[in-house]
Structures are given as structure tokens and as C-alpha cells.
Amino acid sequence: MQDRIVITGMGTVNPLGLSVKESWENTIAGRSGVALITLFDSSPLQVHIAAEVKGFKPENFMDAKEARRRDRFEQFAVAAARQALAHSGLEVTDRNSGRIGVIISSAIGGLYSLQEAILTNHTEGPRKVSPFMIPMLMANGGAGMAAIEFGIKGPCFSVASACASGADGIGTALMMLRTGMIDAALTGAAEATITSTGVAAFDRVGAMSRRNDDYSMTPQPFDKNRDGLVMGEGAAVLVLERESSAKARGAEIFAELAGYGATADAYHVTAPHEHGAGGVAAMLMALQSANANIQDVGYINAHGTGTSLNDQAETRAIKAAFGDLAYKIPVSSTKSMTGHMMGATGALEAIFCTQAIREGILPPTINFQTPDPECDLDYVPNKAREANVTLAISNAFGFGGHNAVLAVRKYS
């Protein structure tokens, strides 16, 4: 019988908190992480709101000198990874370090450092550009810095598939564990794109909410009056292990990572397929990977960005995958609270699925006021709900037509 792959540790820094416990409490309470931008002067832009990580001090998680040599997204990655390792109780030793993988993804990488380097080169000349600029901007920097920080010598890389990066990275770790290539993995994603360039670029795509004067009510996934996504930032990392390895060291097991599906729309560089065909295939693939069927699913953590095209396409995809059952399965978008953390969101939402299964409570979709006739499922509006869930799936759909779905099962 194939070893099951289990979750033994979790860590995060995100707009709702600097730990899993704090983040989950705020999620279940339906609190929003959206506020006016403080990281830079947004006055020249049309968007003045974001979901920033608040109160983060990198020196609380790493050496202060090393922190200065790391981009903000790499600081987030190391902080979340440190929490996840501590939570799991997994000790990295000379004996096991080569059997642990680090797959910490990022869609964009060190945008802070890249923007700063370009401005410095333009205004002060090339000799003033930081010698640490390349390792600070590279998308695999979060994985590399975590491996260095904790002495992990197994496979180490980052997956870049836009907003599906975190889920794809976790799914890749799952497959590596199933083949026996490694015994454990630190896996998730980190993102820090709340810069003037990042916000301006996503706004130019037409994806951003401009509800600057009433930001307490945005984003509004699946609501008729939604006006776009709100950019978020942060990191989420899980420790995955083969069940035999976890049991051998007496680890607490929080859930089973049961399945993974990934597809491409091959349709449009930013817009999802109108009928969500790629999402349908990815959801069904994840269930097949988990040896499960549609009747087993008790909760869906939706991609749910709060853009009209995404919300309608995802709703159609869920209905196409689950048929009449779609109306009986609770669906929620935690991006209504965290904002869209780009590549990192899928990793955080895998943690939220794990917590929903463990705690028997489903996070809400906040800011849901006016139903959209095109979005007619049960979106757990505004208040958390008690529920006994055995299997949950998490959807992550990205620019470029990337679709990644994870299936998380209650462990027994």
C-alpha cells in the first residue's frame, strides 16, 4: 500500500496575522486585512488600498544582518518556514537533510528589490546597485534562503505558475514524496508585490478594486457589485511527510494531503476560459489523485478573486464538475479577507482547508451583500459555519491559464 502524504506542520505570515493561530482566528471572525497602503506613497496611483502584512519584524525570525540581504518576499518565506518546522517538530540533521525537499514558490519574486535596483541605477549609477540584488530578486530566492537557513540539502526549487504557484509547488512536493524521492518537504509560497510598480501594473490589467473610500467592503467575491481584486502579500509553508516517516518520529498529523490536479486553459493570457473548462479538469484530476469522488467533497476554498470574469467562470466550473451536488457544497473565498496574495494564496488556502477540517468550521466569504444571478452557489456568506468535513479542495487559477487544485482529507 502506498504511503499516505501527511501534513505535520504549518506556518504563515499574511494580512490576517503572523501565525496560523492568529490568522485562523481572524479568518473565522470574518475580519478584513484590507486597509490604505502604507508601504509607499500611492497618491500618484488610482489604487490606494491593499492587504499588507502588519507588524512584521524580520529580525524576530532571522538574523538582522541576513534579513537586510533578503527581499521582503524571502523574509516572509523564511519566517513561515521557521514556524512550520517548529510546529512539526521535525529536526534537520546531517543524517536526514538530504531527504528533505524545499519547494517554496513565488509568481513574481523580489519585485521590491528589482524596482529599487532600477531606480538606483537610473538616479545614482550602476556602482550603487546592491551586490545582493540578483539573489534578492530571483523567484527561487525564498526556497534557497530557507534551505540555507535550516541546512536542508534535498531538492530545492520554486514553481512559477502565476497565482497557481503555491498550489503547484505543494502538488509537486506531493508527487516527489509519493515516488519516495524525499521523506519530507517544506513547501508553500511567498509573495511581496505591493510596490508602486506592482499595483500600477495589475491596475492597468483592469483587475484591481479602486474602492479607496470604502475599502471595508472590498473585495467582494461572487457579489453582484464586486469591482476587482485587492492585492495582498505574505507567505504560507507546510511540512509534508510520508506517513511512515511521520509515525516513526511520533509526529502529530494534522491532515492528509490526498490529491493534486493541474491543467492549462490554453485560452487567454489573463482571462479564464469562459466555462472554466481547465478548472473542471483540474478539480476532477485532484479527486482522482485522492481516490475520491464528487460525493466526498464537503468544502471548496474557491479561487474567488472578486473579478467578474473569474467568479463567474469558477462558479460555472464548480457546477460542471459537481453537477447538482454543487448547490449542496459550501464554497468560500478567503481572499475576501486576505486579499489576493498572488502565488502565495494557494498555499495559505491549503492551510485554511486543513484548519476547516480540524476545527469543524468553515471560513466565510465576507462583504457578500447582493447575490449575482450568475453566481448562485452557497458561498458561506459573511459568517463562519460549523460543518463536519472529511475532504476539502482548494482552487488556484492563475494568469496564463494555469489551474491547480489540492485535495485535503481528514486524517484517521
Q: Which residues are catalytic?
A: 163, 303, 340
Interhelix angle 345-359/165-178, nearest 10 degrees: 70
Burial state string for 86-101 with b = 16 or more CB within 10 A and e = fewer than 16:
ebbebebeeebeebbb
**For residue 405, what is its C-alpha cell?**
487544485
Sequence-distant (≥ 6) Cβ neighbours of residue 244 within 8 angstroms = 3
Sequence-distant (≥ 6) Cβ neighbours of residue 344 within 8 angstroms = 14, 76, 106, 165, 166, 188, 189, 190, 191, 233, 234, 235, 236
Amino acid at 338: T
CB 365 within 8 A of CB 381: yes
Closest CA to 318 of 291, 286, 279: 279
**Which residues, listed in sequence order, are joined to residue 257 by a DSSP beta bridge?**
408
CB neighbours (10 Å) of residue 370?
Answer: 9
The pair phi, psi for residue 364, each rounded to 5°, is: -90, 170
Cell 530545492 belongs to 156
CB 272 within 8 A of CB 384: no
**For residue 166, what is its C-alpha cell?**
503555491
3-state SS assignment for residue 4: coil
